[in-house]
Amino acid sequence: MSEKKEPAGDALHNLRHSLAHVLAQAVTKLWPGTKLTIGPPIDYGCYYDFLFETPISEEDFPKIEKEMKKIIHQGQTFRCDELEAADAKKFWKEQKQQFKVELIEDLEKNEKVKTVTNYVNIGPKGEDAFTDLCRGGHVENTKEIPIDGFKIMTLAGAYWRGDEKREQLTRIYVAAFPSKAELDEYLRIQEEARKRDHRKLGKELDLFTFSELVGPGLPLWTPRGTLLRNLLDGYVWELRSAKGYDRVTIPHITKKELYETSGHWQKFQNDLFHVRTREGHDFCMKPMNCPHHTQIFASQQRSYRDMPQRYAETTTCYRDEQTGELHGLSRVRAFTQDDAHVFCRPAQAKEEILKVWEIVDQFYATVGFGKLRVRLSLHDPANFEKYLGTPEMWKQAESELRSIATDRKADFFESPGEAAFYGPKVDFIAKDSIGREWQVATIQLDINMPERFDLFCIDEKGNHERCVMIHAAIMGSLERFLSIFIEHHAGLFPLWVAPVQVGIIPVAGTHEDAAHALESQLKAQGIRTRFFGSEDSLGKRIRDGEMWKVPYLLVMGDKEIEAKSVTVRNVKTKKQVTVSIDEFVQKTVADVTSRALEASIG
């Protein structure tokens, strides 16, 4: 064994990594016999996965934090010991830490390592206080970790190595920042995120549900939620139709040979739902739509005069996600894509990509996300075996996308290793109302699938000309998009897309006839209304309308009926104004027709 110098590393990374060691040291002191696995830093702190002999709960957080602060106060330092792999395995076997032994064995097998490093926390009296298998880096002294800069957040279950057949572990998440102010700001955002959680709002607003009888990860959309989906999808189709797209329809299953040809089978067969026919044929539920669409294009010989061909379809796809990875609408087993594919000549690709880009910009401005950042998702040259095609094909495709982003003066950055296995992508990044970033729309330039399916058109000279294929998703997965959209607006949707746009509240029973007449007038103009009858108190009905997040609540009493007016409560701004019925109807219809982001009354 030899002592090795600590790698420099990033300061915040080192702080969070060190805190993971402190967490593990505290846990093993409080619960001797606990088995250690891994504890990496993450983008807001760190976590550590443990196998406990007896379960712990959130009630144990205060005593864990107290022990962690005690360790930090001691001013422990870190020593790096380099060991031969065999010696390290012997050490961890003596400690009865079988997961560490398995990690070393994997390092020997997969990375061909001969040595590994243990990091030892040195206590106040120079003693070895805690040891972990680790690559570094760390702070020089635990006193560099701010006592008031971290907080244990949650417990979660996790399978060892992500394998549901392996041990069920307990994951402890910790938020960690260089200062209390930064931690407080993170906690404020988390509290706001909890209020906006799409799972909570989806239930409160009756948008979607899940059923144990149907199965996890298979959302069921209520009438209100279906209306919301259809309004958004209809807008996407309106934008696409204006650019010359045609609708197509494909089945939900396919022979596996389709995906063998496309290359998806070799890479993703374990993520698919498999279907076996009575005759013994292997089919699968479609996890994506592009290979099916190639067969529509290939069904006829295409002249250069027929190009480009633009196909669009909103359809459900299926992937066999692990149960532990499912999360509301964000990660599901059945997801609906607003998918489109353009088959065009290489010289037409730039124009077609720009058309999609225009749709993306217009859609996201209308739904309230404003200007988007752009990520050019490129291949990783060091791992080219992960991709289809040749380096020359990739260089040409990536140069094309880079040129388009530059010409549009986009706010873009490049991200090697993020490309699809068949081609580079333009991924659009939206920032929500509490500052979180989400990848939303995508445009992918595919130079491989046309090659694999031999897709071509007949050029002006009668020769075969290889096509290129553009994949374009505006919302992408409607489920995932709606999880973002619901949280971004906190359920207070823009007027044009709100499932119920106007709530009508007569003050008393004597005002109901006039209120019903207004309801009929609004419905005749296509305004979605809800009538709150006078059975309950006026205050309760207003609170119910606010709970349902109806954009406008109209109160009608003697004064309003006499003046042919309504008192309008804007639920989002909390402002209340009185306007004539004619003015209200005119402005509301105009706002809905124009898809105004902000309602003009109140």
Residue among 49, 81, 338, 339 flagged as catalytic? 339
- 467 is known as an active-site residue: no
Summary count for the chain: helices (H), strands (E): 18, 29
CA 112, distance to chain mean position in Å, is: 35
Output the six-digit token pair for 553. Answer: 């609540």
CA 205, distance to chain mean position in Å, is: 21
- 425 is known as an active-site residue: yes
Distance from first CA to last CA of the chain, Å, rounded?
73
Handedness of CA 160, 162, 166, 168 (dihedral sign): positive
The residue type at 263: G
- 148 is known as an active-site residue: no
Q: What is the DSSP letter of 210?
A: -
CB-facing half-sphere around the CA of 497: CA atoms within 13 A: 28
Q: Is 574 left (phi over 0), alpha (psi -120 to 50) or beta?
A: left
Residue among 25, 74, 337, 444 flagged as catalytic? 337
Residue among 264, 302, 319, 333 flagged as catalytic? 319
Residue among 16, 341, 489, 549 flagged as catalytic? 341
Handedness of CA 57, 62, 65, 70 (dihedral sign): negative
The answer to whether the CB of 480 falls within 8 A of the CB of 453 is: no
- 301 is known as an active-site residue: no
Q: What is the DSSP letter of 576?
A: E
Residue among 151, 471, 489, 549 flagged as catalytic? 471
The answer to whether the CB of 6 falls within 8 A of the CB of 137 is: yes
Q: Are strands 115-122 and 128-133 parallel, antiparallel or unpaired?
A: antiparallel
> How big is the chain by its Cα radius of gyration, in Å?
29
Residue among 80, 134, 290, 467 flagged as catalytic? 290
The residue type at 64: I
The answer to whether the CB of 49 falls within 8 A of the CB of 158 is: yes
Look at the chain and count its residues: 602
Output the six-digit token pair for 326. Answer: 């499912």
CB-facing half-sphere around the CA of 488: CA atoms within 13 A: 20
- 319 is known as an active-site residue: yes
- 350 is known as an active-site residue: no
Output the six-digit token pair for 550. Answer: 């109806």
Residue among 310, 425, 489, 572 flagged as catalytic? 425
- 284 is known as an active-site residue: no
> What are the residue numbers of the active site?
290, 319, 337, 339, 341, 425, 471
